[in-house]
Every structure is written in C-alpha cells, then in structure tokens.
Amino acid sequence: MRRPIIAGNWKMNKTLSQSVDFIKEIKHLGDNTDVEVVVCVPFISLDRVKKELEGTNVKLGSQNIHWEESGAYTGEVSPLMLKEIGIDYAIIGHSERRQYFNETDETVNKKVKTSLNHGINPIICVGETLEEREENKAQDKVKTQVIKALKGVEENQMKDIVLAYEPIWAIGTGKTASSEDANEMISFIRNIIEDIYNEEISEEIRIQYGGSVKPANVTEIMNQPDIDGALVGGASLKKDDFTDLVRF
C-alpha cells in the first residue's frame, strides 16, 4: 500500500515573513491523516519554516539542489547546506528549471544521486510539452527522462524516490490532463521502473501527478489506481485550497 503524498511547491512566492505566517496556518495539516504533507518553500525560508514545523507532521522540501557539496557555483545551494537545515525532500528537474535554467537530464541525474547520498529524498519531475503530446511523442519523452534521471541509482535507493509526472502544458494553465490520461502515463512510468528494476519496486514507488491540481479535481485524480499524490503549485499557496487538497 503506497502512502499518498501531497506536496506544495510554492515556487518563487512568499517572502520570509509571509512564509512563516502561512506555515503557522497550515502546520497542523499532517495530523490525523494518512497523507504525507510536504511543503517545498523558497531557499531563504527553509530554515525558519523548519523551526516552525518542529514537532509537526508536515515535511519540508527545497525546490532545487546542487550536485556538489561546495565550490565555485555562484548562487547555488549545496546538499550539505540543505542537510544541515534538515529538509526531507528536494524537487529535482522541475520543468521550469529545465526550461529557464538549462537543467538537463544529466544534471537532474547528478542531483538525484547527490540527494540520495545525503539522505534527502528526491521528487523527480518529468513531463512532455504540448507539442510532444500532439506529435505522439509524450511517452518517448517521459521514458527518456525517467531512464536518464535514474541512471546509476541502486535498487535499494529507489524507496527514497518520488516521481512526479507533470505535463508541461497543464502547469499553471488551468488545463489538467484528464485523470485517465494522467493515470495512463503514470502506469506507463511504473512499467519503465519495472523494466529497469523489478515489479516490487515498480509497485512500491510513489508517483505524483502535477498540473493545475485544485480542490475541484483532486479527488478524481487521487482515485486513479496508479496516482499516489499531487505536486501542487498555485493551489498550495492558499490555506483553504491546500487544506482541501490534503483532505481530498
């Protein structure tokens, strides 16, 4: 039985004081539920938010991570820095990182391996563009991303990984993949994992859907057999919406 995981990706939203105020309002959301609740907040808010979350059941994540422990990488944040704060998760390979910051399948793979080596659980994002979907290339694209992201990852590390299928055309657009289409792709991803590893790992790995998940569609999405959770942008920024999402 896979534990559902709802993760809020705040993206570049909320200042430090806004982050602290907001977390005070939602930090009880992990209580009395089987759902694992995660907030992925801006780097500069991680430390303060971590302190606010102490003693709660809400987990903390970053939105990126560098693959080196230290060095001349101006503007980057290393796994050692994040580990010291005590984060649980790092989003890796979000399509916005791939699109605007030249993240490649190779850097995604390096980040995945470094996260695992530092005890930070990767949430690895994959997904196709609208053009790729229309040209029937969506599965090929996602397959390549999954295989390359996991290159060199050992079987015993797979339990620490979460995958997130986010069709790029559904992010922040109000368009969602139909829950059946999302489930079909996520089932396809599970088959890829079985090919690379084995059936047990493919049955155990948690795979989220992301892209305009809202209170109005979350139940339908979460009722799909292969979908284990949601990676949520816009709707994770509002208390009432995020509350409804984690109580889908």
Ligand X SMILES: O=C[C@H](O)COP(=O)(O)O
Q: Give yes or no for a contact between 128 and 168, defined as CB atoms under 8 angstroms apart.
A: yes
Q: Which of 94, 103, 128, 132 is the catalytic position?
A: 94
Q: Among residues 163 and 202, whose Cβ is nearest to ligand X?
A: 163
Sequence-distant (≥ 6) Cβ neighbours of residue 136 within 8 angstroms: none
- At residue 124, the 3 state secondary structure works out as strand
Q: Residue 45, annotated ligand binder?
A: no
CB 2 within 8 A of CB 228: yes
Q: Which is nearer to ligand X, 81 or 170 (CB)?
A: 170
CB nearer ligand X, residue 202 or residue 230: 230
Residue closest to ligand X, measured at CB: 233
Distance CA 108, CA 145 (A): 9
Q: How far is the CB of 3 from ligand X (least distance, A)?
A: 19
Residues that bind ligand X (CB under 6 A): 9, 94, 166, 171-172, 210-213, 231-235
**9 among annotated binding-site residues:** yes
Place of tokens 């305009």: 212
Helices (H) and strands (E) in the chain, counts: 11, 8
- Catalytic entry in 36, 128, 132, 166: 166
Smallest separation, CB 18 to ligand X (Å) = 17
Is residue 166 among the annotated active site residues? yes
Q: Given the complex with ligand X, which of 46 and 231 has the nearer CB atom?
A: 231
Give the nearest distance from C-beta 177 to ligand X in angstroms.
11
Buried b (16+ CB within 10 A) or exposed e, 107-119: bbbbbbbbbbebe
233 marked as binding residue? yes
Has 28 been annotated as catalytic? no
- Find the shortest distance in angstroms from Cβ 200 to ligand X: 28
- Check whether 212 is labelled as a binding-site residue: yes
3-state secondary structure 192-231: HHHHHCCHHHHHHCEEEEECCCCHHHHHHHHCCCCCCEEE
Given a contact cutoff of 8 angstroms between Cβ atoms, the answer to whether 196 and 157 are in contact is no
Nearer to ligand X, 79 or 229 (CB): 229
Least Cβ distance, residue 20 to ligand X (angstroms): 22
Is 11 annotated for ligand binding? yes
Tell which residue, 143, 214, 141, has the closest CA to residue 176. Answer: 214
Catalytic residue numbers read: 94, 166
Binding residues: 9-11, 172, 212, 233-234
Binding residues for substrate: 9-11, 172, 212, 233-234
